[in-house]
A and B are shown apart, each in its own frame.
Chain A
């Protein structure tokens, strides 16, 4: 059974702090690892990672994948209150009729205080 586990489940920081969110996965026919941000609405896409060791970066957010150790991290530097959200990690399947299926982790609830 495919499984994705995120840690921590919740995190409270102050503006300006740097945070690291973790995601480990066990997925047969692994294709890629995706990160989403969910505020009080639909999840919105942040990153997709397919290759180990290559950092994806967007502003203060960055992410990297380790396919040997089966994990990914999402870093947010100089956090702002607008970063408060649930961050979801998902692993995509590459195999046959399951191609493109996503298995989601539980999410990390990030709260950034002023």
Chain B
């Protein structure tokens, strides 16, 4: 079944470490997104990409960077992790032909000590 996968699913790291979260999809969608979720704050958009050559900042991009390696792969990096980046991170994809509904991966729970 076409899917959105994220690795790792859980990660504990220390302040100052570089971390990469990876997202892959088999849905064939051009658009991909990275969100973070904190309790009581819903989902906040970090970065989004409408195709391989297009990268856009979201609401909370500071401290994060992304790479769109292929249509199916979109990675999120924390260059120097800090404790307030502890959160649940979701990758999502969409296809405008499907009215832009976004489909989410299972999430990565990141803890920065």
Residues of A that sit less than 8 Å from B by CB: 4, 6, 9, 31-32, 34, 41-45, 48, 50, 88, 90, 92, 97, 99-107
Contacts and interface: CB of A to CB of B under 8 A. Distances in A.
Contacts of B94: 100
Q: Is the interface of B mostly helix, strand, loop or mixed?
A: strand
Given A41-B106, A42-B106, A99-B96, A104 B43 contact: yes
B44 interface: yes
A52 to B, nearest CB: 17
A97 to B, nearest CB: 7
Interface of B: 4, 31, 35, 40-45, 48, 50, 56, 58, 90, 94, 96, 99-107
Contacts, number: 56
A100 B100 contact: yes
B45 to A, nearest CB: 7
B31 A100 contact: yes
A99 B85 CA distance: 27
A101 to B, nearest CB: 7
A101 B58 CA distance: 9
Contact of A101 (B45, B99, B105, B107): B45
B27 to A, nearest CB: 13
A43 B103 CA distance: 8
